[in-house]
Structure 1
Amino acid sequence: MILISCKKSPQPLNIKCETTLLLFLASLAFVYFAKAFGGAYMKSSITQIERRFDIPSSLIGVIDGSFEMGNLLVIAFVSYFGAKLHRPRLIGIGCLIMSVGCFLIALPHFFQGPYKYETSVSHSTAFNSSESALPCHSNHSLTDADETPDLEARTEDEKSCEKAAGSSMWIYVFLGNMLRGIGETPIMPLGVSYLDDFSREENTPFYLACIHTVGILGPMFGFMLGSLLAKIYVDIGFVDLVTITINHKDSRWVGAWWLGFIVTGTVILLSSIPFWFLPKSLPKQGQEESQSKSTELATVAEQENFLQEENQDEEKEKPVTFQELAKDFVPSLRRLFRNSIFTLMILTYLVAVNGFIGMITFKPKYMEQIYGQSASKAIFLIGILNLPAVALGIITGGFVLKRFKLGVIGAARVSITASVGSFCLLAVQGFIHCDNAEVGGITISYQGAPQVSYNPQTLLSECNMGCSCSMKHWDPVCAYNGMTYASPCLAGCQTSTGTGREMVFHNCTCVGEMMTPGINSSAVLGQCPRKSDCDRIFKFYMALSVVGSFISACGGTPGYIVLLRSIQPDLKALALGMQTLIVRTLGGIPPPIYFGALIDRTCLKWGTKQCGGRGACRLYDANAFRLTFMGLVTGLYFLSNTLWAGLYVKIVKRQKKLALRNQAKENALEGNDVGNGHANINIAKNKDDTDKESTI
């Protein structure tokens, strides 16, 4: 009905068509919110998924990159052919696919058995207070010689154990995330090109800023949901929580990650509804109805552009076959990449996105390992502090463009200034850190001397030599001397009292080595908190992080406008699609993988899978982690700023050339007018002479 009224109705229904454009704007903003909500929740659940499936950071990077792999499969064709088809309905179809992907990610939870975390505490010790156990001797059968059996020697029981643990269930998460990437493909290129085609030129930056501002609320809610569910045990409703000996601050804890994907899938499904009722095209906003007929099927509208417009008259209302579209695809690509500014801008975005994706993927883990924050708190702080700063920065950048009516050069100046400012703050963050967590035999010796050891043998000392402890298990206890020990056995604890999380271990011989006789040599479950000054350092880090996020986001909208104005109007949808394809393929897939692989190299203590073998990392070398992580991020951002400088020079040169060309055209037109004037005078004079002759 809306489509018919916009096409066939007389003048008064221009208002209805204007309302339809605003409805599309609101629907697109909600879709941006929904897809960002799901994407941010995926990022916030990375740590939980890594622990649940007992996989290293490099593999979790592959899973995270599967979203961009899905984009890679279809985005070039969706961007090019989708611009000629019904764009709103294609966006609706994409939302349905994204929703299915979210539900698929949650599916493994219902196929796997209950989560079993590694622990050196026996069941009777943990849940029966009437019994007194001897932790020092409870692991006598789990010695250092207990390695994962060879593949040939594996028994049927071990194979069934792996099946029960769901060792390959992460493949469902991989495929579901890939479906999310496929479904998200049409939203940005088709939505933005549709909006830019049918809105006023001066309104486009403001509309884009509004969409991105609403969209940034999605990550904020996504991270807040991730923080909430990270505190809820993964098997809530299926197990007795009293029997759980770990809390949400423990590196073995897994939150209810699956529940969030059901929520985000439902929200994305709802966001698809309006697009089934929107028209294929609209009259250009602000044009007369008499002009709308020639505009409604044209995907190219007149707009501010500092490139010469080509072949505008060819955009007529005539049927186009699929073969003709396919035949024009390669020449269109060739025209697009001959644009040096577009190519350089893609390269700049590519480098910057590499740094951003790597940083946002592992930032919660960075805050957890460097500053001793829980995964839940780290996710919550990112959602409640960083993301609102990003939203404010995006709307500020759009407002500056509209308020000062900046052109391409002005927008480029705003963007590069924001990029350099955020880089400076990011570089400072690399020097703000806390010391390593004090873990006996790993980051500090049992006698209290500083050390960092990747060798498991250093876990053994004279104080626990007779305990026959396993060096694989990670079941940390915090002693009253402020040191963390990898397990009660390695702390040399002789007895225990209490049940569940309230268990206390007594007469720990390794604790007594660092304390005067008569002082409490007990330990409790969990790692010790960091030193008191670490909280102050962390607050300073978060302040710099928030300010840097705001400054960086201020350049987002201006940078996007530079991209839009640097391409031919008829190539706009294709250019946006190719930008998304290249940036997400090379900027979205590799960073989580190589960031994760390098971060894995800084692991000090690996966990053990339920059926043996190396699981997820439990403790990192904080200094090596910081230098690796921040070194990569700052290096990539430095390179992107260098490219921005070259890009700015190119934009200024092109603008000067166009200004000279336009001046030459004006001079030529003025010359023609003068010549025409002289010609008219001569004609008039000749006519007068003729009249005189005839009169004579």
Structure 2
Amino acid sequence: MVSKVTLFFIVFGTVYFLESIGGFYMTSAVVFIEKQFQIPSKLSGTMVSAGDFAYIPVVIFTSYFGGKGNRARWIGAGCILISIANFMISSSNFLFPVEKFHVNSSYIPPTLVHQINRDLIGSANDSLWLEEVHSTIDPQNRVVSNYEGDERHDLLKKYISYCHSNKGSDICQKLEYYMGQRNVVSELDVSHVRLLTSLPYAFCHSILNTIRSDHKADECKRDQSSLGPFMMIFGGLLVLGVGRTMPFSLGLPLMDDNVKRKNLPLYFSFMFFVKILGPVIGLLVGGQLNKIYYDFNPPHGLTPLDPMWIGCWWLGFLIFGALLFGPSLALYFFPSDDLDLGKEGAEEKLLDNGEVVVKRPQRLNLVDRHVRKTSDGKVHMPVGAGEKATEFFTTVSELFRNKIFIGAMLGRIVDVLAFKGYFVFLGKYLELQFGVPQFRIQRYLASTGIVGFAIGVILGSISMKKFRLEGRKAAGWVAICSLVAASLSFVNSTVGCKSVIGLMGDQAIAKNFTFDTCRDDCGCEGMPFYPVCNKAGDVFYSPCHAGCPMGWKNYSIFDNTNNPSETLIFENCECANHGIQEVSRTFCRIEECEERFNRFFMNQAMTAVFGGLSVVPGMLIVLRAVPPEHRSISLGFNGFLVSLFATLPSPILWGKIFDMSCLMWQTSCDKKGSCSIYDTDELRVRLHIIYGCLRLFSLLSDIWVFIWAKGLKLIDEDDSKKIDQKPITIEKEKEHPETEEVSAVADRVEKVAQDLDTLIDRRGS
């Protein structure tokens, strides 16, 4: 039969695991939230920090008052809030859909519809009948006179071009009439044009691109503000921040109360392993969901390899919220043993010598056993606001006088300031630097960085128990591991590659941020960013800039059964300039980037291992540096300052660093949206140098802790736990040994008091 303690830790571990998924899953979602709602990185960094806006003012009070109550109920309530927050974040996709506007038959003149479809099919028969009515439509030959070297088979195209700049003229009205008489525009014809104007790439076709630009201008007349989804996600993260205050600050002391000290490193390593396994699962799930388009209906030709792909980020929040709600509710209503101090469930055994051995089952301490209690065994709670405030601020002032606690806390602040925002935007950086799709990046982050960190945590806890790292030994261990991890982080500043985005950035700088085409009649200005390469690896901003006409090799946009693939090839592209005039996304050379991408993650794995080695010793230093009754408030106050000065500004800081390296912004209705092209070399150096310097700066606090940590006990068993957990042996019809021990101690204390009184009387006389 499973004991209550074991059952509790199963439920608690499940909740702790599911809660840990959401925070890191956000790192795989933020890049797609930017694209879907057109939010710049600095603003998305502010959005990610929303959890800390709520965490900061709440964490101290929840850790202080939660530590005096049923901690399981507090943790369960916090995780229920996290579940609700996940539902709120996911709902932004449904409450604020990115509406798609499509052209209709009344939007495009029939002549344009017919011309576009004629160019796609490649037939020139329509010019034959036009030659017969040419004199009727244009008796003064005004259209033909505008063109030198006229060729009669291209007469219709000349009429269409003329009417583009002379709308409403009598020539164009007559042309519309004859076109309507000869060719009735069907719904299928309009659907072809509708599809062509909604593709994620543009062809070299001035008429079609003009329609696309005009249609986009009409879309901008509608309200498409990103404020709604931003506030919904921001609000969800605020609720998540409130819920996140409880599992960590209350969970560690709860485990400390129910586990022997000598086993704490292993239990803590397991707890951190669960905490790390959550992000691994989150990143792997994010990688799989990123293969799915956010509305399950990707535009033709758009694949996860393309910069404009938007993964199904919202589905993960929906799944994790649903999974977390049930176990959190079970934890909230979990029964406590704290008031059950009798012999219920105890086993008695009569020995041959007449003694009775009573072995009580292990108790589950959900209320902190170190808090002050009244004479009847109840937790002491201050009466009135004044007494509560006095006791609270007295506790906080004691923490500020603790040199080890202050040093460890300052080091954690700098470490989190460096790591939090860096990791949030790491997936985006890798996509820009190496041209690798997000679903692969999330798998690599899970299998190297996170798993490496988990291995480091486990090795660190085993080493701590094996080598009995106490006091300065533990502090020195933390300092050395931090130094190695910081040094390794500088290495990644030298590992870079010219991905497609990097090549486009070089091209933008060289051409003063203009992307020309070899044909003047393509109308590529304002067309969507869809980089393609020729066989030589030369990159073009889009198929339009490569001079590609409508139609492409072995592919039909009108075949609904043809799924988008990475083998999309555009043919007859006049600007390709390399034998076969074909361009494709798959022609872009990535072999060198693949090799360097793998090298980056090998170094990242080593950095993660050394980073994990110091986690358990560092946490035990914080936990043991304060009196036992102040553990929850110390962790809460630590979380308060870390959030205020690290996790809150960190994503904003790193988002700003990314934006500083942006070369070209997307614009949506004359408003700045997300960045499309970066200076990847500048971004690589700036990112890793700043990160490494921050990690080195935190080393100063590790040295400070080393100076003051002499004699600090971390894993030695304390007497209170030995007495609390050992079997109780009593003689028949006699009191418990604990009672006898307490009585003996009381007698000794009374004797000492009498001796002191006698000494004082003698001094007075």
Query: Is TM > 0.5 for Structure 1 vs Structure 2?
Result: yes
> Counterpart of 2:472?
409
Task: Among all aligned residue pairs of Structure 1 and Structure 2, give the percentage whose two residues are the same amino acid.
Answer: 26
Indicate how the Cα distance of structure 1 residues 319 and 644 shifts in structure 2: closer, same or farther if over 3 A, else same.
Answer: closer
1:320 and 2:378 are equivalent in the alignment: no
Letter in 1 for 2:443: F
Q: Which of 530, 533, 557 is the matching residue for 1:478?
A: 533
> Counterpart of 1:72?
56
Q: Which of 315, 318, 321 is the matching residue for 1:262?
A: 318
> Counterpart of 1:31?
15
> Counterpart of 2:111?
none
CA contact (8 A) 2:292 2:312 kept: yes
Deviation at 1:105, TM superposition (A): 0.4
1:274 and 2:258 are equivalent in the alignment: no
Q: Which of 266, 269, 282 is the matching residue for 1:222?
A: 282
CA distance in structure 2 between the aligned counterparts of 1:53 and 1:492, rounded to whole angstroms: 31
Indicate how the Cα distance of structure 1 residues 350 and 246 shifts in structure 2: closer, same or farther if over 3 A, else same.
Answer: same
Q: Deviations over 1:571-592 (max 9, x none)?
A: 1111010011111222111111
> Counterpart of 2:224?
162
Please list every run of 5 or more consecutive structure 2 residues that lacks an aligned counterpart in the other structure: 104-119, 121-189, 347-356, 558-563, 714-751, 753-765
Q: Which of 439, 452, 467 is the matching residue for 1:389?
A: 452
CA contact (8 A) 1:476 1:484 kept: yes
CA contact (8 A) 1:66 1:177 kept: yes
> Counterpart of 1:635?
693
SS in 1 for 2:509: coil
Deviation at 1:271, TM superposition (A): 2.6
Root mean square deviation, CA, Å: 3.7
CA distance in structure 1 between the aligned counterparts of 2:482 and 2:220, rounded to whole angstroms: 53
> Counterpart of 2:81?
97
> Counterpart of 1:505?
570
CA contact (8 A) 2:266 2:462 kept: yes
SS in 1 for 2:533: strand
Residues 130-209 of structure 1 mapped to structure 2, 5 A cutoff = 135-138=204-207, 141=210, 158-162=220-224, 168-209=228-269
CA contact (8 A) 1:394 1:555 kept: yes
CA contact (8 A) 1:473 1:608 kept: no
SS in 2 for 1:606: strand
Q: Which of 61, 67, 85 is the matching residue for 2:45?
A: 61
1:124 and 2:192 are equivalent in the alignment: yes
SS in 1 for 2:673: strand
> Counterpart of 1:550?
609
> Counterpart of 2:293?
233
CA distance in structure 2 between the aligned counterparts of 1:363 and 1:631, rounded to whole angstroms: 14
Letter in 2 for 1:554: L
CA contact (8 A) 1:456 1:471 kept: no
CA contact (8 A) 1:143 1:468 kept: no
Between 1:487-496 and 1:348-357, the stretch displaced more is 487-496
> Counterpart of 1:616?
674
Letter in 1 for 2:709: I
- Answer with 1 or 2: which has the greater Rg: 2
SS in 2 for 1:618: strand
CA distance in structure 2 between the aligned counterparts of 1:75 and 1:401, rounded to whole angstroms: 30
SS in 2 for 1:510: coil
Deviation at 1:93, TM superposition (A): 0.7
Deviation at 1:335, TM superposition (A): 0.9
CA distance in structure 2 between the aligned counterparts of 1:420 and 1:535, rounded to whole angstroms: 29
CA contact (8 A) 1:439 1:484 kept: no
CA contact (8 A) 1:58 1:596 kept: yes
Q: Deviations over 1:385-417 (max 9, x none)?
A: 221222121111111122222212222122222
Q: Which of 591, 595, 600 is the matching residue for 1:536?
A: 595
Indicate how the Cα distance of structure 1 residues 621 and 193 shifts in structure 2: closer, same or farther if over 3 A, else same.
Answer: same
CA distance in structure 2 between the aligned counterparts of 1:372 and 1:196, rounded to whole angstroms: 46
Letter in 2 for 1:200: K
SS in 2 for 1:487: coil
Deviation at 1:569, TM superposition (A): 1.9
Deviation at 1:622, TM superposition (A): 1.0
SS in 2 for 1:162: coil
Deviation at 1:568, TM superposition (A): 1.9
Number of aligned residue pairs: give it: 599
CA distance in structure 1 between the aligned counterparts of 2:646 and 2:242, rounded to whole angstroms: 17
Deviation at 1:300, TM superposition (A): 4.7
> Counterpart of 2:683?
625
TM-score by length of 2: 0.71
CA distance in structure 1 between the aligned counterparts of 2:662 and 2:358, rounded to whole angstroms: 66
TM-score by length of 1: 0.78
Deviation at 1:102, TM superposition (A): 0.3
Deviation at 1:467, TM superposition (A): 3.0
CA distance in structure 2 between the aligned counterparts of 1:26 and 1:485, rounded to whole angstroms: 55
CA distance in structure 2 between the aligned counterparts of 1:203 and 1:396, rounded to whole angstroms: 15
Q: Deviations over 1:639-678 (max 9, x none)?
A: 11232123212323989xxxxxxxxxxxxxxxxxxxx9xx
